[in-house]
Structure 1
């Protein structure tokens, strides 16, 4: 158990920093957009290009890590270092096109950590607590990006400028990647590739043909659209509709992060207790989506605490996403194909949902204003609930972890 605790802390720490690096752009974009003369559509494009390349990194690096002996540790550490480098370079951008290119390359690195981290923790965790563990791990990205980042990044931006803010947040990623290299062991399924032929290794089309993987992919596409539409355009909504800027805006945005963080832990644990994961997803996504529509129609002059609470409730229901995107696909296809399955759901979600829908959201905002964009986001969450009705109960392939010398050693630690 000592090994699992160490690796959980390190991999969750990486996700915490990935969250800060990724979401920080959203809180600094109002300043960057003003300096570079960017329209709302171009703001959406900066978020979208990152999401598209993030999805490419998720799929390509995740699949390669599953086809290469000892590939998961290399993928996690290498991708983290690559992302930190381009996070630093973000602060050196001198134009919209440079910013677009740098964020696009950074997305490949950050996306490369997703599948190997998720599949490693799924395999190393006990089956009876998997939902809660994956929910807690995923919540670290949300916690870092939407709870810690808003007040910290907006304060750094106000004190030192947005460029220095990017320089400062890039350094911890390199440190954590180095620690992970020396502590992490590849999980059993990765080590067992030494004894398997290439023909026995996972086929992408075979994994995608699984009904649950396909449905989870569609649901993740819609969810990722919601995530990046709201995280990108909520600050503009607060500024343009309610006149809230600077640190006050950062503090209200923590409501979004706190809701998503607590929701990921609570909903994940709930699915371990109440074993019908599908019903939990349907209920939380539908109710929170409708709350989001109500949040969009709060009148100008609404007290900031009321805006905070409705934003918290809007994001709380999104805590189902670790189950939809990671747990159900993993339990459907088994550990040997888990990174590929997570790569498919996450990759498609990022490329199609995160890549296209923020541009749509920006267009809606340009035509009808930011309030309409938040309404659009609310109905996206309702859409996740509708598509999830078609999910089937996952196969019991992953109820017991595969045994190996690696597992025996890890289990024997105090």
Structure 2
């Protein structure tokens, strides 16, 4: 029993749980505004266009700050010195959201929230990467990223709507800010600067980034291919999640409650696949896993656009085929961080996030909306499918980075020499 306890109570597991909850609470606070909009819109006299602006301003500031502050953490050689204060700031922003008196107030607060939340994923995943053993690196990174689906997309709507209905929308924002404050003090007390669990990762150890290392981010083929994949996979994600609910209600004539069940199946599928797919890549390799599941991701919007089945059938399709979120840890975190010195991992991750948010999260939904007005509500789903197809094809250009594949290649080379 003591041996099992000692095996579990490792710092690798500790940093894994700290980053899981930190990232989950980021998405709780990011998505809460959408779920609470019906409650505060009448009081603040807001329309749907203003809701869109509130979401967009957060996305833009998120993308830009993610790159700036993640790069800063690389250049100063510290994850903790950046992560702790920004965790505190985004938590305070939730309280400020609850205190907003007008559209302008809410817009400014959410912009500030985007500035503080943008660097969280790159820095958190860089810390987890450094502390992970090679045999479970994919699982660790996928587990952290799955928090957005479990805490942000699944639990948050249940929590904030109940609080808003029983108390007020302002109280909901205040309560949602508390977990982030708790994590601030946990990180301050227990997080340490990353130390590579193994002697080396791709021949590199975690040190303060040099300018020469920093330039490698912009010169490595894998990084730029992952940037392209990020742009098109975020097109898949944001176009699909933005227009699928409306499609189910208006085109397939499901009730709002039935639509909610289908989207819940999507959320559950996202959570499970975000853990399963990176774990598979630990055994199969990053490149073949990304290509395989990118092709599978094409099916989710295509089938939902063309198969007009019962509620149970649509939920099953959603659960089984919505695998795209499981590919995100591969191109956003694992492949870039394994391709470069660990000291610039956060910069590489934030670069994929930056382009993905700006293209897939900002431009693509607008273009998809125009297409929906011109060609019908199924058009955005076809656009989402096309985004996944591009990702699968671009994936063939990647260079394999999985440790298990690197060891096989090295062993084959040594055998050939002998």
Task: Identify the residue that residue 262 of structure 2 maps to in structure 1.
Answer: 252
- Please name the residue that 1:131 is paired with: 138
* CA distance 1:385–1:322, change in 2 (3 Å): same
Residue in structure 1 matched with residue 339 of structure 2 by the alignment = 332
The question of 1:55 aligning with 2:66 is answered no
* 1:320 matches 2:327: yes
In the comparison of the two structures, how many residue pairs are matched?
388
TM-score for the superposition, normalised by structure 2: 0.83
Q: Give me the TM-score of the superposition, normalised by structure 1.
A: 0.83
Q: For the Cα contact (< 8 Å) 1:27–1:235, is it kept in 2? A: no
How far residue 262 of structure 1 moved from its aligned partner, in angstroms, is 0.7
1:147–1:253 CA contact under 8 A, matched in 2 = no
Q: Would you say the 8 A contact 1:48–1:359 is kept in 2?
A: no
Q: What whole-Å deviation, never above 9, does each CA across 1:221-245 have from its counterpart, x for those lacking one?
A: 2222332333333343344443533
Residue matched to 2:280: 270
Please give the alpha-carbon distance, in whole angstroms, between the structure 1 residues aligned to 2:398 and 2:217. Answer: 16
1:207: how far off?
Answer: 0.9
Which residue in 1 is equivalent to 2:363?
Answer: 356
Deviation of the 1:379 alpha carbon: 2.5
Counterpart of 2:127?
120
Q: Which residue of 1 aligns with 2:290?
A: 281
Which stretches in structure 1 are left out of the alignment for 5+ residues?
190-194, 401-414
* Residue aligned with 2:146, SS: helix
* Structure 1 residue 267, shift from structure 2 partner: 0.6
Matched residue SS, 1:392: coil
Match of 1:14 in 2: 22
Q: Distance in 1 between matches of 2:374 and 2:16?
A: 45
Q: What is the distance in 1 between the residues matched to 2:122 and 2:341?
A: 14
Give me the whole-angstrom Cα distance separating, in 2, the residues matched to 1:251 and 1:177.
Answer: 34
Task: List gaps (5 residues or longer) in structure 2.
Answer: 1-8, 197-205, 408-418
What is residue 408 of structure 1 aligned with on the other side? none
> In 2, distance between residues paired with 1:115 and 1:197?
16
Q: What CA distance in whole angstroms lies between the structure 2 residues aligned with 1:349 and 1:77?
A: 25
**Residue pairs, 1:393-412, within 5 angstroms:** 393-394=400-401
- The aligned residue for residue 192 of structure 1 is none
Counterpart CA distance in 2 for 1:347 and 1:396 is: 27
Which of 187, 211, 220 aligns to 1:210? It is 220
Q: For the residues of structure 1 that align with 2:38 and 2:313, how far apart are their CA atoms?
A: 23
Q: 1:166 aligns with which of 168, 173, 177?
A: 173
Choose 1 or 2 for highest CA Rg: 2
Structure showing greater relative contact order (alpha-carbon pairs closer than 8 Å, 6 or more residues apart): 1
Partner of 1:182: 189
Alignment partners' CA distance in 2, 1:46 and 1:181: 31
Residues 197 and 234 (structure 1 numbering): CA distance in 2 closer, same or farther, change over 3 Å? Answer: closer
Q: Does 1:224 align with 2:234?
A: yes
CA contact (8 A) 1:62 1:114 kept: no
Provide closer, same or farther for how the CA distance between residues 284 and 203 of structure 1 changes in structure 2, counting only shifts above 3 A.
same
Give the CA deviation at 1:158.
Answer: 4.2
Q: Residue in 2 aligned with 1:140? A: 147
Query: C-alpha distance in 1, partners of 2:41/2:359?
Result: 24
* Deviation per residue, 1:117-142 (Å, 9 max, x gap): 11110010001211111111111122
Cα deviation code 1:345-374 (max 9, x no counterpart): 122222332232233334444555544333
C-alpha RMSD over aligned residues: 3.0
Native 8 Å contact 1:333 1:397 kept in 2: no
Give the corresponding residue for 1:292: 301
Instruction: Report how far residue 396 of structure 1 moved.
Output: 6.4
CA distance in 1: counterparts of 2:129 and 2:165, whole angstroms: 40
The answer to whether the 8 A contact 1:287-1:382 is kept is: no
The CA distance in 1 between the partners of 2:53 and 2:391, in whole Å, is 23
Q: Deviations over 1:137-172 (max 9, x none)?
A: 111122212222233344444444544332221211
How much does 1:177 deviate? Answer: 1.3
Paired with 2:125 and 2:208, the residues of 1 have a C-alpha distance of 24
SS at match of 2:323: helix
CA distance in 2, matches of 1:257, 1:180: 28
Counterpart Cα distance in 1 of 2:46 and 2:246: 15
| Inter-CA distance 156–355: structure 2 relative to 1 (3 Å threshold) | same
Residues 317 and 216 from structure 1, CA distance in 2 versus in 1: closer, same or farther, beyond 3 angstroms?
same
Residues 73, 81 of structure 1: alpha-carbon distance in 2 compared, 3 angstrom cutoff: same
Farther-moved stretch of structure 1 (216-225 vs 326-335): 216-225
> Do the aligned partners of 1:216 and 1:329 also contact (CA within 8 Å) in 2?
yes
